[in-house]
Amino acid sequence: MAGASLAGAGAASLLLHPEAAANAMEHAYGSSADGTLDVATFVEADSIVVEITDRGTWRPPVESDRVGGRGLPIMRAVMDEVHIERTPAGTTVRMTRKRSPSGV
């Protein structure tokens, strides 16, 4: 896709890195300060992809302590695709934003 721009896609990925990382820490590791995240951003032929992977165990939020709850809706509104894969080894969130051929 010659001439395609990463401007909008790159801005979206910069916005969502911290949000996805915060979600991973909250849901994988809870209140523990210990935890590892792998963060990868790469460009495919027609898109930019952000992956956040943890090695924790999924923990639903405690409603009484709940502040937020907007992470996934924001990710889904800004990105073209959001996939979440939960396994016994951890969770990977993969967000994809298509590159704009118009340069926007």
Domain assignment present for 1 = no
* Residue 104 included in any domain: no
Strands 37-43 and 90-98, how do they pair?
A: unpaired
> Which structural domain range is residue 22 located in?
7-59+69-98
pTM: 0.70
- Confidence band (pLDDT; 50, 70, 90) for 27? confident
Name the range with the highest mean pLDDT among 29-43, 52-66, 83-97: 83-97
Judge whether residue 52 has pLDDT over 80: yes
Number of domains forming the structure of the chain: 1
* Better pLDDT: 12 or 84: 84
Task: Decide if 81 is inside a domain.
Answer: yes
Asked whether the beta carbons of 92 and 85 are under 8 A apart, the reply is yes
Residues 38 and 28: beta-carbon distance below 8 Å: no
Instruction: Over range 9-36, report the average pLDDT.
Output: 70
